[in-house]
Amino acid sequence: MPENNRVTRMLEPWRGAPEADVDPTDVDVHHRRKAAAGLEAVAVSMNRGIGQMGPLRTLNTLRRLNQTEGFDCMGCAWPDPDPEHRSFAEFCENGAKAVAEEATKQRADPAFFAQHSVAELATWSDFQLGRAGRITEPMLLREGGTHYEPVSWDEAFAVVADALRGLDNPDEAVFYTSGRASNEAAFVYQLFVRAYGTNNLPDCSNMCHESTSVALAESIGIGKGSVSLQDIHEAELIIIAGQNPGTNHPRMLSALEKCVQGGGRIVAVNPLPETGLIKFDNPQKVKGLVGLGTDLATEFLPIRLGGDLALFQALGALLIERGAVDHDFVDGHTTGYESYRAHVADLDWDEVLKATGLPRAQIENLADMLAASNKTVFCWAMGVTQQKHAVAAIKEITNVALLQGNIGKPGAGLCPVRGHSNVQGDRTMGVWEKLPAHFSDALRQEFGFDPPTERGHDVVNTIRAMQEGKVKVLVGLGGNFASATPDTDAVFEALRSVDLGVQISTKPNRTHVIPGKQMLILPCLGRTEKDITEAGWQGLTVEDSMSDVHLSVGRNEPAGPMLHGEPWIIAKMAEAAIGDRPESASIDWAAMAQDYRAIRRHIANVVPGCDAYEEKVSRPGGFTLPHPPRDGRIFETPSGKAEIAVNPIAVLEAPEGHLLLQTLRSHDQFNTTIYGHDDRYRGLAGGRQVVMVHPDDIRELGLTDGELYDVVSVWTDGSERVVHGYRVVSYPTSRGCAAAYYPECNVLVPLDHTAEGSNCPVSKAVVVRFAPHGSCDAHSGSEPSRVSSGSDRSHRSEVEPHHLS
């Protein structure tokens, strides 16, 4: 399909199922892009904006994005520069897309829901559902109903209250959170849930950086990264493992560019040569507009999936061998060095080379670079966290940092790059299925009730509990539980078992169309919009990946007159459900719904590091939360020191005839929200049903480049999961590895395939084989649109050869 057609159609308003004629298997293969961003990124931002918001709204909205007086980008969690270093356009292409998605003029109003039954909407793709636009009124799908019907807020809250009051045990309700919720929303939410009597607070972190939180808490005493933006600028060396910043944290490239211009070097560790890591055309500078970008990564280590644990252990061994250990730091601030040294002295290089797929010389070279660097930053994201041995791998990254004292000094540190814009803040505010004792005590003191002590369900255990019929009510503060979770078929079946689903959402998504007995949608304001309550214009606060907390104020007119902010919705829901219970005796839900400053006063009293919260967030640029290792090399572990941990090396191998498959993001999506069908930097366009495979593996497995296959995942218990009609394209990924898109391929991730120690689904290493398309009728239960058997129309015969550099 010619590019122009697609773009034009995207700009057209529509009322039926949009783009119903897109064949997701009809993928164009172009050349991979050599540089990220540049003029094209500016053009795409403006196009998307104007297409969804119109020209005036686009200009007015984008100019407030990430400005001190404006709203925080709802895209990723990358921090903003200091107020004095912000440019006029402090955003990226994908931030602009996220904004356009929220500030769209399309409306999924009651007329829309009257026109399309839930059964019909269930056949729409994620892309089509998102295009429906903003939900404007509370909508209820009654038991036995075919369509969502509008209800008043009072009726909506009464439905939730009745359901929650009717449960035998508060643990029969589960309250999910996605990382876009503000600190205020998150704080009131966890307060409500705990006052109601459960710690069932799973969140998207459980599927994201949970492995990081677990590993860092054990190693350095706090589950957060230790660097600031300034450290990135000043580093001599930055290692980026398992992350694709060009797509997922685009403004990180500006920070990396600064580092390179100051003489720093960047190393990418990734099975894929991701465009943004290789070269960057800064769209905010003239030379970026004319395509004279900066070369970023000087070294690229094409690692095998799951190989990071072995790589970093080998690096640690080589640093010791080279005498490149900061003994003052190690003696003064760490424990475990001697056992670690003994362990890595016996390093089995055969295993390292098998696990990483890298030549030894390349690992030695990186060790030399580390040894030569006085200031190293270690960045990582989903390629590292969503692995079976992720917790151990992150401890190995930490070990390497600790050996050289690369923590708590300028230009150095640990930098897990968070996903959702406020995912870190939600945890800080207490959204966690584990309730720490100090937080529990603070809640008791502030609100006078005894919080539950039992650990709640994380995401995977929520699904298991649903399967056992133990979840009656599932509430979602944002997010898209149905699409984001692994093992789609099992999840859909599980979701259908609940009595009541409640989703606080901005736009329709898969979760709304996989209902249990009853399903309620509570529509909320987004970050771009004015939130005006009886007490006036409300601001919200958020925390980025580097622990900076600041205010965000929306200024656009709300998408509809009935919409309210998330804190209002949650506080009202709480009032209706438990307002008359003894636990609420000292909680003024109404005051918090009316004036978010009341919530911030409680945050100041309960959340560590948040004293004088109102005053501190009101400063331009806000404030930075304390981080003891960063601030003073203080490690709040049981030993009072940073722990250098010993881990056995794991080698992931797929059986003969199989590959390891990772599921990842394209350049045109935000998690389960699909903006479009192209993956520009990877040179793939027009469809998402593709699997990227190394050309030698294509040959060895007897596959044909450009053909459609059914992809079958095989799990240790003998069970198989299938997606149908995926086009194999030759792509420079590591040998033995393949890549396909999330969320479509979540079907293939077995529920029990989780990381040791964090229970994070292993979305980045699933064992798969390929079967001729159509040979697997093993029904994969999912909605037809999710796993559509690739249509037989337009079988492209002339797929261009894919170039490998």
Residues that bind ligand SF4 (CB under 6 A): 66, 73, 75-76, 78, 91-92, 94-95, 98, 249-251
Binders of ligand MGD in range 208-227 (CB under 6 A): 208
CA distance 28 to 796: 9
Name which position in 70, 276, 408, 419 contacts ligand MGD (CB under 6 A). 419
- Any contact of residue 419 with Mo ion (CB under 5 A)? yes
Residue closer to ligand MGD (CB basis): 257 or 308: 308
Q: Looking at 76-133, which runs of residues are DSSP E strands?
A: 107-108
- Any contact of residue 294 with ligand MGD (CB under 6 A)? no
Q: Taking the complex as a whole, how short is the minimal distance between the CB of residue 194 and ligand SF4, in angstroms?
A: 30
Q: Which stretch binds ligand MGD (CB under 6 A): 16-24, 376-384, 611-619, 783-791?
A: 376-384
582 residue type, one letter = P
798 residue type, one letter = E
Per-residue x/- marks for ligand MGD, 549-588, CB under 6 A?
Answer: -----------------x----------------------
Name which position in 106, 373, 746, 780 contacts ligand MGD (CB under 6 A). 746
From the list 66, 83, 67, 84, the residue with the least C-alpha distance to 75 is: 66
- Any contact of residue 479 with Mo ion (CB under 5 A)? no
- Interstrand relation of 708-714 and 720-730 (parallel, antiparallel or unpaired): antiparallel
- Give residue for tokens 């190293």: 376
9 residue type, one letter = R
Q: Looking at 524-627, which runs of residues are DSSP E strands?
A: 532-533, 536-537, 540-543, 548-552, 623-624
351 to 313, 346, 362, 386, 661: CA distances (angstroms):
11, 11, 15, 21, 21
Binders of Mo ion in range 420-459 (CB under 5 A): none
Binding partner of 383, given Mo ion, ligand MGD, ligand SF4, none, CB within 5-8 angstroms per partner class = ligand MGD
Structure tokens at 779: 């029904």
End-to-end Cα distance, the chain: 26
Residue closer to Mo ion (CB basis): 179 or 197: 179
Binding partner of 449, given Mo ion, ligand MGD, ligand SF4, none, CB within 5-8 angstroms per partner class = none
Helix%, strand%, coil% for the chain, nearest 5 = 40, 20, 45
CA distance 325 to 400: 9
Name which position in 303, 513, 708, 755 contacts ligand MGD (CB under 6 A). 303
Binding partner of 509, given Mo ion, ligand SF4, ligand MGD, none, CB within 5-8 angstroms per partner class = ligand MGD
- Any contact of residue 110 with Mo ion (CB under 5 A)? no
Name which position in 35, 122, 163, 208 contacts Mo ion (CB under 5 A). 208
Q: What are the DSSP calls for 617-668, one per residue?
A: HHSTT-EE---HHHHHS---STTSSEE------------TT-EEEEEE--TT
Binding partner of 556, given ligand MGD, ligand SF4, Mo ion, none, CB within 5-8 angstroms per partner class = none
CA distance 690 to 382: 20
Residue closer to ligand MGD (CB basis): 49 or 526: 526
Q: Which stretch binds ligand MGD (CB under 6 A): 50-58, 221-229, 269-277, 785-793?
A: 269-277
From the list 589, 473, 569, 523, the residue with the least C-alpha distance to 162 is: 473
What is the distance, to the nearest Å, from the Cα of residue 183 to the centroid of all Cα atoms in its chain? 17
Residue closer to ligand MGD (CB basis): 443 or 723: 723
Residue closer to ligand MGD (CB basis): 502 or 776: 502
* Cβ atoms of 186 and 430 closer than 8 Å: yes
Q: Taking the complex as a whole, how short is the minimal distance between the CB of residue 593 and ligand MGD, in angstroms?
A: 16
Q: Exposed/middle/buried for 515, CB within 10 Å: 0-12, 13-18, 19+? A: buried
**Residue 540: strand, helix, or coil:** strand
Q: Taking the complex as a whole, how short is the minimal distance between the CB of residue 176 and ligand MGD, in angstroms?
A: 7
- Any contact of residue 504 with ligand MGD (CB under 6 A)? yes
Q: Taking the complex as a whole, how short is the minimal distance between the CB of residue 130 and Mo ion, in angstroms?
A: 18
Binding partner of 246, given ligand MGD, Mo ion, ligand SF4, none, CB within 5-8 angstroms per partner class = none
Name which position in 116, 343, 641, 665 contacts ligand MGD (CB under 6 A). 665
Q: Taking the complex as a whole, how short is the minimal distance between the CB of residue 284 and ligand SF4, in angstroms?
A: 11
CA distance 142 to 731: 48
Residue closer to ligand MGD (CB basis): 443 or 768: 768
Binders of ligand MGD in range 106-135 (CB under 6 A): none
- Interstrand relation of 36-37 and 279-281 (parallel, antiparallel or unpaired): parallel
805 residue type, one letter = S
CA distance 216 to 201: 21
**Residue 19: strand, helix, or coil:** coil
Q: Which residues here bind Mo ion, judged by CB under 5 A?
A: 208, 419
Q: Which residues here bind ligand MGD, judged by CB under 6 A?
A: 75-76, 94, 178-180, 204, 207-208, 241-244, 247-249, 269-272, 274, 303, 305-306, 308, 381-384, 386-387, 419-420, 477-481, 484, 504-507, 509, 524, 526, 566, 662-665, 669-673, 742, 746, 749, 763-764
